[in-house]
Chain A
C-alpha cells in the first residue's frame, strides 16, 4: 500500500514540477474540442444526440496521448529493471501508474467538458448527476486497460501506435457504454442505468485481469 502511495506521489510531484506533459495535453484537448466544433455543426437539436459520442471520442484520443508516456520515464531511467528485482509487489506499481493516469485524464476531462458545454450549448435533459458516475467509470475503463497495454507495448517496435491498436478493440463495449449512457442522460430519452452497470462490470472484470496478469508481463523477458 505504501509503495503504491509513494510511487503515485512521486509521479504526481514529477508531473507538477515539469508540467510539460500536462500543458501540452491540455492544449491538445482544447484543440480537439475546437476541431470537433468545426467538424460537427452544433445546432441545438442534434447536438444532444451526438455530443455523447463526440465527448468520449475526444476523451479517448486525449487519454491515448497521456497513456503513451506512462512508462516513458521508467524506460529512460531503467526503473523497470530495478522494480523487477525489488521485493515490492508488481501490482503496487501498476495501481500507482493507473491511478496517476486516472487523475491525469480526469483533469483533462474537467477542462474539456465545460468547453464542450459551451461550444455545443449542452444541457442535460436527464438526471445530470449520473454523469458524475459515468465519467469516472468510463475513464477508469480506458485507463486501466490503457496502462496495462502501454506496459505490453514497451517491448515492441512502433510502441506509440501499438497502444491504441490494442486498446480500441478491447474497449469497444466500454466505449459503447460510456457514449450510450452520456447520450441517454443528455437527451433524457432512456435510462442510463444498464450502461452504468455494464461499465461497472467491465471495470471490475478488467481491473482483476490487469492485476492478475501484470506481474507476468513485468517479468517477461
Chain B
C-alpha cells in the first residue's frame, strides 16, 4: 500500500495544477462578476468535500454506536436499506422541486447506503472511531477554507462580507462550529470513553443540521437578503472546470485523510505501548 502513495501524490499534484490552470486561465470570465468569480472554483469544491467528509464522520459515528450491541447493528442495516429504497421510490413517485433530477435523487439514496455498508466493511471495530477523528479534522480544514473564501468572494461582488440570512454560508458556519466543538470534546476528554461521547455529539450535530437549514430558510423569507454564491444555471464550460477542481480536491482530501489515518493508528499504538510500559514499571517496583 505504501508504494502507491507517492504515485498517487504525483497524480494528485498534477490534477491540482491542471485544475488551477483551468480555473485561473482557461475558464471563461463571468459576465457580471468578472475574474473574482473564479474563487467559485475553489469555494464550491471545498464545500462539497467538507460536507462529504462530515457525512463520513456521521456514518462512522453511527457505526461506532450501533456496533456496541449486535441487535442495534442489524436494525441499523435494515434502516439504511429502507432509506435507500424509500429514496429511490420517492424519486419517481413524489413531485420534485425545480431543477432536481429524478435519477440523481435515486443515485444519492443508493450511494448513501453504499457508503454506509462500505465503511462497515472497511472500518471494523476501533477503526471506525479513527475514521471519525480523521474525517472531522480534515473536514474542518476544508470547511475553514469555505468560510474564508466565501466572504472573500462576497465582498467585491456584493459589497458585504457576510449576510446572516445567507442560508448556505450560515449553515456551513454552524456545521463548522459543531465540528470544532467535536474536536475540542475529543481533545479535552479524559478517560477511555472519548470515542463514545464524540460519536454521540456527532449524532446530535447531524440531527441539528436540517433544523439549522430550515430555521435560516424561514428567517430569510422574512428578511430578504442577498444570496451569496448565486443560484441559477451554470455555463457548461464552467461546470466542467468546477468538476475538474472537485476531482482534484477530492483526491487531495483522500491523500490527506489517509496520512492522518496512518498518523492516528501510529499514535494509538504508541500510547498503548507507553501504557504497557508504565504497567510493567509499576509491577517491577
Contacts and interface: CB of A to CB of B under 8 A. Distances in A.
Complex contact flag A–B (Cβ < 8 Å): yes
B178 A170 contact: yes
Contact of A217 (B188, B200, B218): B200
Interface of B: 65, 68, 174, 177-178, 180-181, 184-185, 188-193, 196-197, 200-201, 203-205, 207-208, 211-212, 214-216, 218-219, 222
Interface in A164-218: 165-166, 168-170, 172-174, 176-177, 180, 190, 194-195, 198, 201-202, 205-206, 209, 213, 216-217
B201 A152 contact: yes
Interface in A31-75: none
B196 A201 contact: no
Contacts of A194: 218
A155 B192 CA distance: 10
A217 B204 contact: no
Given A172-B212, A176-B215, A220 B196 contact: yes
A217 B196 contact: yes
B200 A213 contact: yes
Contact of A162 (B68, B184, B192, B219): B184
Interface residues of A, number: 32
Given A152-B185, A180-B219, A216 B65 contact: yes
B285 to A, nearest CB: 27
Given A176-B216, A195-B218, A220-B197, A202 B203 contact: no
Given A162-B184, A220-B196, A155 B190 contact: yes
Interface of A: 145, 152, 155-158, 162, 165-166, 168-170, 172-174, 176-177, 180, 190, 194-195, 198, 201-202, 205-206, 209, 213, 216-217, 220-221
A157 B200 contact: no
B261 to A, nearest CB: 24
A194 B178 CA distance: 25
A205 B211 contact: yes
Given A190-B222, A220-B196, A170 B208 contact: yes
Contacts of B218: 194-195, 198
Interface centre among A158, A168, A176 (most CB of B within 10 A): A176
Interface centre among A152, A157, A177, A180 (most CB of B within 10 A): A152
Contacts of B181: 165-166, 169-170
B190 A221 contact: no
